[in-house]
Structure 1
């Protein structure tokens, strides 16, 4: 009998994790343990932790891809919470999913209300005038 092989096990057979069987990076065994110890239900099926691990891995990959794009747009090599915030809030579905979530050190989306922006007007002599929408104050350039 080979070392490491117990009763009923074939000699020399290496153990494979459920994560590798499912082709996932997230730990299926750990998620199964959390589901069982968390008392979410009396019993947990065999496929439930695999499915949950796949969903969590997909969401993490989606957020990381968008955050990486946001970091590259800002000419940075490292993803910081600001990039995660920009990625989540600019994506419609992720923003809806994480609508009530606060990301620490994330900041806010850059947004200037259209009323506060100067409106450009042209006169008959093709000289641009800038009229501010609130109090009609005219400034010549």
Structure 2
């Protein structure tokens, strides 16, 4: 019989609010690209079709996942500059978003860097039913496990 194809979509992990990873730094665009290349070179079969999210779109998603109310001005600024339907890669314009952040005097890196457990987070006031102490313990366990795996 004829062999089929396998489609594989690979997304970069984003440290999101209300998770044990909310204190972790987001990967840089260059590091995301490096890891995507590594995966692509490791898959040699032509029957496996790899799809990756755009690194710039991933970075923007990470910013908004850990953002605060100041980002409302950035969203409005990007809209004024012409950003529309940016979840679709073919119309996404990262340059407009960088300009909007700059116009508001906001650094994306402020939302992408690692955070200390004691640092107040913009979403701390939202009660999800999961305590911050529990998330911290889970974060520490995940870090320990990652160190064991790496080695």
Instruction: Please classify the TM superposition score into its range, dividing by the shorter chain length.
Output: under 0.3
- Larger radius of gyration between Structure 1 and Structure 2: 1
Q: TM-score, normalized by length of structure 1? A: 0.25
